Structure 1
């Protein structure tokens, strides 16, 4: 191959590589969560974008002989298989198969066979590579397995009359270029997944209290604004919690918080939500609760918490005080104030008690309609 021809080939390969990286970067904008759920519309959109890549890369690659090109078309199906499984790999590869069948040349059959072989190899060695489970840089061991996956690429050229000579000329450069492309695009994909995983973790921390596994104060403030007149707000406080901490230590206090939160979660319906409001205080939202339900729920919470021995404090029980208010005509913000006010009434009345904000006649009528 002459020097000028070699420069042309290198230029086209650089274009091939650029197209691959550009489309990979574009498609990753659809990845917004980790772990990635395969049936999410965003992931399907990403796979559809990747399915165009093999055809684009085929057209952007240098031609060695009519219908036989030197390109990176098999990198997207391999990566789709490694991350999403064989179905994802087939989805990404099918448009190229259809294109080659509709525009048949001498290289069509070897091209389709190469694609099929690398998807099969990626399927068989997917668990060995293990990049679908945890985002992070590709290791030397993973790159070794990826090299093995890509080794069948190009071998079907041997079916052509001059296939042996062509394969001898292109096999090692083709393998090296494809492995390098997987490494570079894999690094881009993994960096995006790591960023998404970190962001998801931070968002989860903002939504959930790590100690009690209830919603966070921030999440409560957001959910409160969306309440309807038929919803209920409760404020619950553990009685004499400071004395628990003083007598048994903060580790035991944390255990008390966790066990009270567990009782709350087990008592509420799936449509209701508990939140850690601050310290030893919890907020609860009951969605669409029928009139009178809030009284039964609050009393059950008080009784169950008060009868549950907690090993961390020597098998003793703790009690709770609860204030309750329906949103009704108050609106969410005033319902919260009313529930908080009735919580402190329960405290003033001796603790281990439930106090209910009574609706005005207009509010009661709204609940019955």
Structure 2
């Protein structure tokens, strides 16, 4: 029996590597096709493990099918646990024998205990460390095989099989968690590095690289805004570069607070920002752009008691190419600065906004 359980353990390791490839991004997907594929791999693993059983009595077999079930219920939740449990019970029923009721009760017991353990862990609000998670897996495994005691002569079968199966199953859970955990660590690190590569370190918003990525996905009703802080060189000369950096950080924060859901602001370069508005349409682009301008200019900065203003050039994507949209928004920004700054100019809109006072000399307010 020990040799067969060791063979099962090797199958668990192989299934673990296959399972690892179903984790494609961090944070882990909790729905969608990759989640469904992950559940399918766990269900197939449970069925596969029953292909290499140790027969401990006529109609009664021992294997490590509980390992995928425990992993599914503790890591995938109720849906994953029920799906894997259903596949295991269905295939075991096809095999037949006196051990079928034992297996059904064992599976139901592990499923209920696993759901209770998972709920307890979620209520804690803190991710359980590695030793604790292994202990939770062992607790979930405890009902596996206990119904053997209900069979005639079940005490001898229980004494023969329970502890070896529990030990190998615990090792299988540890191996499965280690293999998948390595994959998740790599995904988490990759997500961190990608995030840092696509964020501007000064302002904390998306950088030019992210802007170039998002730009190619513009739709017909999207709009591009080019936003420039007015007379920023004068601000730096007056207050110094350290406070200039602080001012840029606050401008970026105010832009982000004013954006609608789905929109995004970018540090385009120097004191210039870009904003992509999703589905705004030609009728609403000026109103949204004005709200962004006022959001920046509404009150004095926290770092220096002065108000800053921005000039905004806007262009609707329409049917134009990406480069055309950028050029139109940039031209509109140039017009906004030429007309006195602290205003919004929409490309192709003949309406000239009324003059708005700007904080050209950066005097305290």
TM-score category, normalised to shorter length = 0.7 to 0.9
1:44 positional shift: 1.3
- Where does structure 1 lack aligned partners over 5 or more consecutive residues? 1-8, 361-369
Match of 1:46 in 2: 38
Of residues 62, 65, 69, the one that matches 1:70 is 62
Give, in whole Å, the separation in 2 of the partners of 1:21 and 1:145: 20
Give, in whole Å, the separation in 2 of the partners of 1:72 and 1:197: 30
Contact 1:135 1:194 in 2 (8 A): no
Deviates more, 1:240-249 or 1:305-314: 240-249
Residue by residue over 1:190-221, the C-alpha shift from the partner in whole angstroms, topping out at 9 and shown as x without a partner, is 11122222223333444555665643322221
Rate the CA distance shift 1:248–1:79 in 2: closer, same or farther, 3 A: farther
1:81 aligns with 2:73: yes
Task: Give secondary structure in 2 for the equivalent of 1:60.
Answer: coil
Match of 1:112 in 2: 104
Give, in whole Å, the separation in 1 of the partners of 2:82 and 2:325: 55
1:117 positional shift: 1.7
Match of 1:160 in 2: 151
1:283 aligns with 2:274: yes
Residue by residue over 1:306-330, the C-alpha shift from the partner in whole angstroms, topping out at 9 and shown as x without a partner, is 232222213x211112233444576
Rate the CA distance shift 1:79–1:312 in 2: closer, same or farther, 3 A: same
Give, in whole Å, the separation in 2 of the partners of 1:119 and 1:287: 45
Contact 1:229 1:328 in 2 (8 A): yes
1:185 positional shift: 0.6
1:75 positional shift: 0.8
Note the aligned Cα RMSD (angstroms).
3.2
1:90 aligns with 2:90: no
Match of 1:124 in 2: 116
Give, in whole Å, the separation in 1 of the partners of 2:89 and 2:320: 64
Match of 2:323 in 1: 333
1:274 aligns with 2:265: yes
Residue by residue over 1:58-101, the C-alpha shift from the partner in whole angstroms, topping out at 9 and shown as x without a partner, is 22122112222221111111111111223321211112212233
Deviates more, 1:288-297 or 1:11-20: 288-297
Of residues 291, 302, 307, the one that matches 2:298 is 307
1:227 positional shift: 3.4
Contact 1:135 1:191 in 2 (8 A): no
Rate the CA distance shift 1:190–1:333 in 2: closer, same or farther, 3 A: same
1:347 positional shift: 4.1
Deviates more, 1:179-188 or 1:155-164: 155-164
Task: Give secondary structure in 1 for the equivalent of 2:113.
Answer: helix
1:225 aligns with 2:221: no
Rate the CA distance shift 1:210–1:113 in 2: closer, same or farther, 3 A: farther
Match of 2:8 in 1: 16
- Where does structure 2 lack aligned partners over 5 or more consecutive residues? 351-365
Contact 2:281 2:316 in 1 (8 A): no
